[in-house]
Amino acid sequence: MPIYEYICNDCGEEFERLVFGGTVVICMKCASGNIKKKMSAFGMSGVEKPFAGSKDGCGTCSKGSCSSCH
């Protein structure tokens, strides 16, 4: 059951909702159904390797393929 971020196209309110199956989401501020799902960033913990395209952990090479990058 994911939590989604929304923005109301009528009043501009930004909010989050825990969505179950076919839940109809409305704005809690103005009760409009004219809403849009926002693109959300997510966090990860416990990641050992840098993300693709990241230079973190690769200070000793320029190719991104040295032993400190793996």
CA 25, CA 62: separation in Å to the nearest integer? 48
In a domain, 11, yes or no: yes
Is the residue at 3 inside a domain? yes
Residues in the chain: 70
User: Is 60 within the bounds of a domain?
Assistant: no
* Token pair of 50 as six digits: 């840098």
In a domain, 50, yes or no: no
What domain range is 31 assigned to?
1-39
Task: Provide the token pair at 48.
Answer: 């050992």
**Residue corresponding to tokens 């200070």:** 59
Residue 53, in any domain of the structure: no
Q: What is the pLDDT along the chain (70 residues), one digit of tens a residue?
A: 688 999 999 999 999 999 888 889 999 999 999 999 998 666 556 656 555 555 555 555 665 566 655 5
Classify residue 22: in a domain, yes or no. Answer: yes
User: Total structural domains in the chain?
Assistant: 1
Residue 65 lies in a domain: no
**Residue 26 belongs to some domain of the structure:** yes
Residues 6+ apart with CB under 8 A from 7: 13, 14, 15, 35, 36, 38
